[in-house]
Amino acid sequence: MLQWRNSLARHATRQSVSVLFTSVGRRVELMRAFREAYETLGLDGKIVGVDIDPLAPALQVVDHPYIVPRLNSPEFIPTLVEICRQEKITLVFPLIDPDIPILAANRTILEETGARVVVISSNAVALTADKWLTNQFFERLGLPTPRSWLPAQCDPDEIDYPVFIKPRRGSAAKSTFRVSDPEELRFFSRYVPDPIIQEYLSGPEITNDVICDLEGEVLSVVSRQRIEVRWGEVAKGVTIYNPDIIDACVQIARALPAVGPITVQCMMKDDVPHFTEINARLGGGLPLGIAAGVDSPKWLLAKAAGIAVDIPPLGSYQRDLYLTRFDESFFLTKDDRAQMASRCL
């Protein structure tokens, strides 16, 4: 079960960089990509992963796994602080949206351990977490974005259909619906919690992995079209290139301002990208960008370690590269599961 543990110890370099990922869940590919980056750089360090579930698959491929309290527990942040101290963590990355505001709000206490919390400011978090505020942000930047309304601003009998309704604050495409007529809109306006109503755009939908360093410099933008989505994460996709999208993503990252990786969502309408959402974390489809030549784990680790690496110009990645995902399994005995469940502080 622990075949990957401590496999980085053989490297001798000028600096050690240890990374903590919160809510690792199913992100096995990402953990392996960071491991490969350590090995390519010849860099000392540990990959530490935390989750509430001892059966989270990615816990099987990190160096030091930990089971932590739930996000809403008063013990969540103290537990992370202690892990950062014990493991001498250099960088902390969130992997799901709910973790982002908690980490941003507790940045000071976490960074007293010597770690760097790789998330945007609390003000920027509030903007990205609220899709209405995000829509207004895009409008202020002069970027195309779907026409949007709050329920109080919208007369169901006066707007054009179809429209799209979703929670102002939500993730993983939960409680999102295409609405065809006034009766449906009245129903879903009551059913969806604190909703935003938007012009329906059929797409295609483009996710853009915007990789920034810890000072906010944009290192890369990779655009990937979503072909099939499962549980809110891309299952099939393909890299595309659109200079207008890249320019807009750079503008968005600088305006936030971004720190570390973010993803920017847009929908195409009449060949024009209309920007919809920002997620201030490593995207679930990041492995496609890595395969296309944007080795973001390597770049982020190198930047943290002070190692010089060549970073190609924006847009320098393989286009028309397809991703198609499949399930892989780990098998644990009862004792294996108990061992993982005991990895608590």
Q: Residue 172 has what pLDDT?
A: 64
Tell me the per-residue pLDDT of 172-197, one tens digit each, with 9 for 90 and over.
667 899 999 999 999 999 999 999 99
Q: What is the pLDDT of residue 37?
A: 98
267: nearest Cα among 119, 100, 135, 98: 135
Whether the per-residue pLDDT at 10 is higher than 80: the answer is: no
Helices (H) and strands (E) in the chain, counts: 11, 15
Q: In this predicted structure, what is the pLDDT of residue 121?
A: 93
Please report the pLDDT score of residue 7 as a whole number. 34
Does 11 score more than 50 pLDDT?
no
Query: What is the CATH code of the structural domain delimited by 19-119+329-341?
Result: 3.40.50.20
Question: What pLDDT shows up at residue 4?
Answer: 35
The pLDDT of residue 14 is 45
125-129+202-324 CATH, one of 3.20.20.70, 3.30.470.20, 3.40.50.970, 3.30.499.10? 3.30.470.20
Comparing C-alpha atoms, which of 277, 282, 283, 247 is closest to residue 127? Answer: 277
pLDDT per position as a tens digit, 133-166: 999 999 999 999 999 999 999 899 999 999 999 9
Q: What percent of the chain has pLDDT over 90?
A: 90
Position 175 scores a pLDDT of 84
**Rg, the chain, Cα only:** 21
Question: pTM of the entire structure?
Answer: 0.91
The residues spanned by each domain of the chain are 19-119+329-341, 125-129+202-324, 147-199
pLDDT beyond 90 at 279:
yes
Which pLDDT does position 15 carry in this prediction? 79
pLDDT of residue 292: 98
Q: How far apart are CA 298 and CA 34, in angstroms?
A: 7
Mean pLDDT confidence for 262-270: 97
Q: Do residues 171 and 280 touch, judged by C-beta distance below 8 A?
A: no
The per-residue pLDDT for 63 is 98
Q: List the CATH code of the domain at 147-199.
A: 3.30.1490.20
What gap in Å lies between CA 95 and CA 82, rounded to an integer?
Answer: 20
Residues 79-121: tens digit of each pLDDT: 999 999 999 999 999 999 999 999 999 999 999 999 999 999 9
